Amino acid sequence: MTDSDRRDASLDLTPEDLGALLAGVTTLAEQEVAAARFGPVFERPPSAAEIDRMIGTDRALPVDGESVEDLLAACAAVLAAGRRTTPGFFGYVQSPPAPVAVAADVLASAADQNLTSWRSGPAAAAVEHQTLRWVGEFVGFDAAATGILVSGGSTANLSALLVALRAVTGPDLDRRGMRVYASAETHFSVGKAARALGVGLQPVAVDGERRLDPGALRMAIASDRAAGLLPICVVANAGTTSTGAVDPLDAVATVAADAGVWLHIDGAYGAPAAADPASRHLFAGLHRADSLCIDAHKWLYAPVDCSAFLLHDAAATARAFGTGADDYVRILATQPAETFAFWDHGLELSRRFRALKLWATLRFHGAHRLAAAIGEDIRLAAHLADLVAAAEDFELLAGPGLSICCFRHTPTHVDQPALDAHNERILQALQRDGRVYLSNATIDGRFALRACITNFRTTRADVERVLTVVRELAR
């Protein structure tokens, strides 16, 4: 190969181009952080046709590359057409990333450590273990928590059901008679996980506050066992996605313990609120769960993706996932820490260095400051609920539950049967308008506008703008 051939095959940049690229990326990152501070959610109403035109979706595969300047301009256009997690974004359960977490995520990408085991990233592995312990302590689950960081709550819930299955049953038993128990308010990822594993999901009744009923749970488990079925796991909620309901965790833990089944708590959204002194009582019994999931990108202000799957006992994940690896990854070390392999504790082999952004956030801000930010989000949701309750043309349908408030617009000129369609039209207009972004929920058969506040930049003024904008768009 000639020197010219080597240059043609290299993906390295000249020092000048590398400097221009990194400087341009830093500028774009600063612009995105600034845009998330002040809004709107969209720079202009989203349009599939406009996005196709901007990206050039019919463009052929590039044969020759383009300049740094052209590439940065293309990236800027894509970012400008995206959705920002602004102070008025109350749609999905997603917090804006803290700037320190953004910086750490850039470093993790630059280092690009494939965190399969200790030997593939010794310091990164230690950081992940420490981060998991810190998160466990932050919410009062276990100051010595073990576990693994995964992509999100869906993967964490799937992992939990598989760990529960291996903890309660033998590997060769027929799964069709196995049962998992959860309320109808539980996230649909639990149902997906049950179907993927071939086990049955048994819905359990809820009380008037949409919390799992421990008495109904006890009866369901006893009934299934009498019918020859095999209960393996209860999934309790530490903050449902629709309304923020927290199941009576201590009572549910007692039922699960008496029945000898695994207790998993889905705290993907709500568990961080256990660190808020004013909300801590809602989570009594959280420490009794066998496993817990928390999405740091939902309410711990980390960039997507970062979900903590926490346990008390590392042997539980080893039973589920430690089935032996190929010889090419056989570990030769003998010191216990150096023999650790994440593939023995989770579904993934290739894994990015997810922990650095959360570790940096916890180090830089500390537990008290993060808990204060979460507490303020909860108070803002309560303020929105108060505004809705005081307004003659709005109806509070649920909440506030943690940082979620569900309501609907009920002007006198719209008949009751037409309210669902009326509020659906409002939501479509809101999501394209960009000043305030809500999502939807169904509450007792009624279409609700759902506001979920998980943003450390949101103020009372942002919350007070919601009803004003809804009224304006309703006209």
Model confidence pLDDT, tens digit, residues 113-149: 999 998 889 999 999 999 999 999 999 999 999 999 9
Q: How far apart are CA 214 and CA 183, in angstroms?
A: 10
- Summarize the confidence of residues 102-109 as an average pLDDT: 96
Percent of the chain topping pLDDT 90: 85
What pLDDT band is residue 444 in, cutting at 50, 70 and 90? very high
- Summarize the confidence of residues 18-43 as an average pLDDT: 93
Pairing relationship of beta strands 262-266 and 291-295 according to DSSP bridges: parallel
Q: What angle do helix axes 419-433 and 460-474 make, rounded to 10 degrees?
A: 120
Q: How far apart are CA 128 and CA 377, in angstroms?
A: 27
- For the cut 70, the answer to whether the pLDDT of residue 7 exceeds it is no
User: When comparing pLDDT for 171 and 340, which is higher?
Assistant: 340
Give the H or E element holding residue 370. Answer: helix 355-390
Percent of the chain topping pLDDT 70: 96
Give the H or E element holding residue 394. Answer: strand 394-401
Per residue in 320-360, pLDDT (tens digit) is 998 766 655 566 666 878 889 999 999 999 999 999 999 99
What are the tokens at 296?
């740091």
- Summarize the confidence of residues 244-249 as an average pLDDT: 98
Q: CATH topology for 368-474?
A: Aspartate Aminotransferase, domain 1 (3.90.1150)
- Residue 170 has a pLDDT of 80
What pLDDT band is residue 454 in, cutting at 50, 70 and 90? very high
- For the cut 60, the answer to whether the pLDDT of residue 458 exceeds it is yes
Q: How far apart are CA 34 and CA 36, in angstroms?
A: 5
Cβ-based neighbours of 194, under 8 Å, separated by 6 or more: 161, 180, 200, 201
What pLDDT band is residue 173 in, cutting at 50, 70 and 90? confident
Where does the chain hold its CATH 3.40.640.10 domain(s)?
100-365
The distance of Cα 210 from the centroid of its chain, to the nearest Å, equals: 21
Rg value, the chain, Cα: 24
The region of weakest confidence among 218-222, 383-387, 415-419 is 415-419
- For the cut 90, the answer to whether the pLDDT of residue 227 exceeds it is yes
DSSP designation for 93: S
Q: How far apart are CA 437 and CA 318, in angstroms?
A: 42
Contact 404, 450 (CB under 8 A): yes
Q: How far apart are CA 359 and CA 132, in angstroms?
A: 9
Q: How far apart are CA 246 and CA 71, in angstroms?
A: 47
Q: CATH topology for 100-365?
A: Aspartate Aminotransferase; domain 2 (3.40.640)
Q: How far apart are CA 163 and CA 315, in angstroms?
A: 10
Contact 244, 298 (CB under 8 A): no
- For the cut 90, the answer to whether the pLDDT of residue 270 exceeds it is yes
Mean pLDDT of the chain: 94
- Residue 437 has a pLDDT of 95
CA atoms within 13 A on the CB side of 245: 22
Q: Of 186, 90, 39, which Cα lies nearest the Cα of 449?
A: 90
- For the cut 70, the answer to whether the pLDDT of residue 5 exceeds it is no
What pLDDT band is residue 171 in, cutting at 50, 70 and 90? confident
Strand ranges (DSSP E) for 115-177? 146-150
